[in-house]
Amino acid sequence: MNADLHCHSCVSDGTLTPEALAQRARERGVELWALTDHDEIGGQHRARDAALALGLPYLTGTEISVSFCGQTVHIVGLGFDPDDEALKRGLAATRGGRRERALEMAESLAKAGIHGSFEGALKYVGNPDLISRTHFARYLVETGACADTSEVFRRFLTEGKPGFVPHRWAGLRDAVQWITEAGGMAVIAHPARYKFTANEEHALFSEFKSHGGRGVEVVTGSHSAAEAVRYAEAALEYGLAASRGSDFHSPDESHTDLGALPELPGSLTPVWEALQDRIQRPA
């Protein structure tokens, strides 16, 4: 099954509309799709309506920013009720503070000689509640300060570099519970991206499970083939279902296009097996 259960629209830090993403997913052979904007579900009804009109089965999605052991961890939610009030309140609280953080990021960049980045980043923002590092990265490419967004993240905006501002996101338990209590499944996003020690990673997986988390991304645009093997083993070890998603943000920036992913290893239980009754299907 060509499932792609992780990507971003202009409702967070992607560049395409939910409708254009649905079209692109359909054209690229995706058979089950979820839009997973950061800390935001404002695009869910648009994504679902566009997908179903194209004959593409759909799961609701989001990607929640969580603070854990001094790092930012992303928790994907799939198959929840997009009208759940507690989930909406939790996401709004998680988004809160992004504007203040962005102003501090701009101040820090100005000290490094990069001026006007708050206004510059805002030009790329589709949702005023969701100004993110990605929008700053696009502005730094525009000014010629960096050649591409990966250079921006190497030289700026990450721990220890100009423009980095530590931020307190949602708690792990809260994020997992918002998703689960809204009828969805919580999934650890791109686990190979975190710089945890073995003990910290074990704490993440076991606490996630004890709060009711049920899945982990194994095949993602953020993992190498070796990392996919490593987290396939972790899925079996912790008894988690496996997810698959490109993390597509933009035709100009993303290495992995919608649907262009290797298969999940056959030994794993795919998240969509457990989410059968949450999938919205074309009439």
Residue ranges in contact with Mn ion by CB under 5 A: 13, 63, 74, 189, 247
38 versus 214: smaller Cβ distance to ligand AMP: 38
The nearer residue to ligand AMP, 143 or 150, going by C-beta atoms, is 150
State which amino acid sits at residue 212.
G
Residue 150's binding partner among Mn ion, ligand AMP, none (Cβ under 5 to 8 angstroms by kind) is ligand AMP
DSSP annotation of 269: P
Q: Does 38 bind ligand AMP (CB under 6 A)?
A: yes
Residue 132 found at the interface with ligand AMP (CB under 6 A): yes
Q: Which range touches ligand AMP (CB under 6 A), out of 18-26, 132-140, 194-202, 211-219?
A: 132-140
DSSP for 47-90 reads HHHHHHHTT--B--EEEEEEEETTEEEEEEEES--TT-HHHHHH
16-24, 75-83, 148-156, 232-240 -> range binding ligand AMP (CB under 6 A): 148-156
Q: Residue 38 CB, nearest distance to ligand AMP (Å)?
A: 5
Q: Which does 65 bind (CB under 5 to 8 A by kind): ligand AMP, Mn ion, none?
A: ligand AMP
Q: Are 39 and 94 in contact (CB under 8 A)?
A: yes
For residue 49, how far is the Cα from the chain centroid? 21
Using CB under 6 A, which of the segments 28-36, 75-83, 130-138, 201-209 binds ligand AMP? 130-138
Residue in 36, 108, 149, 243 binding ligand AMP, rule: CB under 6 A: 149
CA dist 23 and 224 (Å) reads: 27
Nearer Cβ to ligand AMP (190/214): 190
Task: Spell 25-56 as b/e; 16+ CB within 10 A means b.
Answer: bbeeebebbbbbbbbbbbbbebbbebbbebeb
Helices assigned H by DSSP within the chain: 18-27, 44-53, 85-95, 98-111, 117-122, 133-142, 149-155, 172-181, 198-210, 225-238, 271-274
Contact partner at residue 149 from Mn ion, ligand AMP, none, CB < 5 to 8 Å by partner kind: ligand AMP
DSSP assignment of 225-241, as one string? HHHHHHHHHHHHHHT-E
13 to 32: interface string for ligand AMP, x by CB under 6 A: x-------------------
Q: Which is nearer to ligand AMP, 89 or 255 (CB)?
A: 255
Closer Cβ to ligand AMP, 57 or 221, answer by number: 221
* Angle, alpha carbons 94-9-190 (nearest 5°): 65
Give the other-Cβ count within 10 Å of 224's Cβ.
Answer: 9
Handedness of CA 114, 118, 120, 121 (dihedral sign): positive
Q: Whole-number minimum distance, CB 67 to ligand AMP, in Å?
A: 11
Q: Does 36 bind ligand AMP (CB under 6 A)?
A: no
Residue 220 touching ligand AMP (CB under 6 A): no
Contacts to ligand AMP by CB under 6 A: 13, 38, 65, 132-134, 149-150, 153, 249
